[in-house]
Structure 1
Amino acid sequence: MIRLRTRAVPPPPVTPGEVLAETEGLRVRLGAREVLAGVDVTVRAGEVLALVGPNGAGKSTLLSALAADLTAAEGVVRIHGRPAAQWSAPELALRRAVLPQSAALSFPFTVEEVVRMGRAPWAGTPLADQDDMAVAAAMAATEVPAFAVRPFSALSGGERARVALARVLAQRAPLLLLDEPTAALDLKHQELVLRLCRERARAGDAVVVVLHDLGLAAAYAHRVAVLHAGRIAADGPPAEVFDERLLSEVYDQPVEVLPHPRTGAVLVAPRRDL
């Protein structure tokens, strides 16, 4: 019997506060090591959720689980209210877009061609005619049009990072999962990327971003989940979660939490005796 492939149906518009992804009792093992040990987290439309914590805490693993790229040993991951395993790959691609830590391509695609890859899930849908507009808007937002015809492989690390983000933005999925998007960027473009995260949340998307810079998390995240040894040590607004004692314990490094002298916003810095 020949099975006909059904075309993926785009998701309906999301409403502010709607849960677009969540985990309950999530446990993930990589080899013999338990990387996540009973994690509960909720991702809502209209907010930026920052995942922070020391190296090895489980941030990238949690992001991969939310993307349905990892299988849980125990617990459940839901995307748009449905267990992740029940979505087909084409359906997932219309609902969540993923930015990995690094991007490598074996063929000499141009920058514009790489960004256009983000539109692949929309082929054959009523919104496919928006491809050109979506690609142009994503490239403009990430400030990459000047090297649109250059090979992706010829770019610097920071330029590649911005092009990879443009691909994710062009995908126009309501759930964005970004793994260390600022790691290779200079100060200006770190701020640009986090402003884009806030803009997408303001437009109604849910954004989950792995960050090492606690200052960026404090400034731009609506909510922060602090991971420590595979568990959530704290979850809430930065002003509530970023506590000197908690952060010093989690990072095994004395930390100061101070109000900004002009705005009163939370500032986080390592305690130094120079």
Structure 2
Amino acid sequence: MRALKNPFRARGRLLPAPVAPGSPVAEARGLRVRLGQRPVLDSIDLTARAGEVLALVGPNGAGKSTLLAALAADLPAEHGEVRIDGCPVTDWSAAELALRRAVLPQSAALSFPFPVADVVRMGRAPWAGTERADEDDPAVASAMAATEVTEFAERPFSALSGGERARVALARVLAQRAGLLLLDEPTAALDLRHQELVLRICRERAAAGDAVVVVLHDLGLAAAYADRAAVLHDGRIAVAGPPAGVFTGELLGAVYRQPIEVFPHPRTGAPLVVPTRGS
């Protein structure tokens, strides 16, 4: 009798199954990470859930990028555990991880002058040989349209400005169509309009059921677009929760060592975060 085919397995890879809204997609429990001889993260407990945008904020050196890399399984834990899709990250092969999480690093560099369209298409590599490989063309086209890079699809990546490269790199991540997006400072090189564009994309992906974890320096963007924010301080999470509840002048002033005022936006009610200036 012929064995039934597993619809979630292809070429030895276990494909992702649908995830219910609100379900944990990535989890860190008791996480401690050391870089060389320096402890960078300690006692981290954090969950990213399907359907939400989780912002990681905090001053330089607080551990935001290290935490993102640990969630991506790009950095090993000295202690504790990271789970993706319900399993320890060490249980997944590299190919299976690539089906479940897409990572946008702080900077994107390529040694060869690939055309923009080819760079975006690299995001589809994990799906080669699966039943979802036929989504390659629409996934690439949709990602390029969302990030507004279609008009220079044939230009070499190396000829782009910093902001254009950042948007192409984001398009590659979107084309991957993983259920967990890990974005490290995706707005750093962008103008005001494209900062808003990127955060709207984050909200759209969360609305579609993805879990989005994004490192941000702009507390205003985090307050406006994130469902939850984790404020990191000296390698630990000082507080985590909805921005309206955790963004207080007292807390942020202590974490950033800068007097800060927080008041509600007159129309939306979202927290506005500004440094205290003058008398």
TM range (shorter): over 0.9
Aligned length: 270
> Which residue does 1:104 correspond to in 2?
109
Confirm or deny: 8 A CA contact 2:27 2:46 kept in the other structure.
yes
- 1:12-161 superposed matches below 5 A: 12-161=17-166
Q: Which amino acid aligns with 2:86?
A: G
Q: Does 1:206 align with 2:211?
A: yes
> Which residue does 1:11 correspond to in 2?
16
> Which residue does 2:267 correspond to in 1?
262
Hey, which bits of structure 1, 4+ residues long, moved more than 6 A?
none
Give the Cα separation in 2 of the matches to 1:64 and 1:270: 29
Residue 165 of structure 1: CA displacement?
Answer: 0.2
What are the Cα deviations for residues 213-261 of structure 1, in whole angstroms up to 9, with x where unaligned? Answer: 0000000000000000000000000000101100000000000001112
- Percent same amino acid at aligned positions? 76
Give the Cα separation in 1 of the matches to 2:204 and 2:95: 26
Give the Cα separation in 1 of the matches to 2:268 and 2:97: 40
Residue 9 of structure 1: CA displacement?
Answer: 2.8
**Aligned-pair Cα RMSD in Å:** 1.0
Give the Cα separation in 2 of the matches to 1:271 and 1:250: 14
Give the Cα separation in 2 of the matches to 1:37 and 1:51: 15
Q: Does 1:179 align with 2:179?
A: no
What are the Cα deviations for residues 167-224 of structure 1, in whole angstroms up to 9, with x where unaligned? Answer: 0000000000000000000000000000000000000000000000000000000000
> Which residue does 1:197 correspond to in 2?
202
Structure 2 gaps, min length 5:
1-9
Give the Cα separation in 1 of the matches to 2:18 and 2:80: 28
What are the Cα deviations for residues 38-75 of structure 1, in whole angstroms up to 9, with x where unaligned? Answer: 10000100000000000000000000000000000000
Q: Secondary structure at the match of 2:13?
A: coil
Give the Cα separation in 1 of the matches to 2:241 and 2:106: 25
Residue 10 of structure 1: CA displacement?
Answer: 1.8
Q: Which amino acid aligns with 1:230?
A: G
Q: Does 1:220 align with 2:230?
A: no
Give the Cα separation in 1 of the matches to 2:105 and 2:129: 26
Taking structure 1 as reference, are residues 6 and 263 closer, same or farther at Cα in structure 2, changes over 3 Å only? closer
Confirm or deny: 8 A CA contact 2:32 2:44 kept in the other structure.
yes
Q: Which amino acid aligns with 1:134?
A: A
Q: Which amino acid aligns with 1:267?
A: L
Q: Secondary structure at the match of 1:94?
A: helix
Residue 265 of structure 1: CA displacement?
Answer: 1.8
Confirm or deny: 8 A CA contact 2:139 2:175 kept in the other structure.
yes
- TM-score, normalising length: structure 1: 0.97
Q: Which amino acid aligns with 1:129?
A: D
> Which residue does 2:7 correspond to in 1?
none
Give the Cα separation in 2 of the matches to 1:231 and 1:126: 41
Q: Secondary structure at the match of 1:39?
A: strand
Q: Which amino acid aligns with 1:14?
A: V
- TM-score, normalising length: structure 2: 0.95
Q: Secondary structure at the match of 1:42?
A: strand
Confirm or deny: 8 A CA contact 2:11 2:129 kept in the other structure.
no
Give the Cα separation in 1 of the matches to 2:268 and 2:12: 50
Residue 6 of structure 1: CA displacement?
Answer: 4.4
Give the Cα separation in 1 of the matches to 2:175 and 2:62: 30
- 1:225-244 superposed matches below 5 A: 225-244=230-249
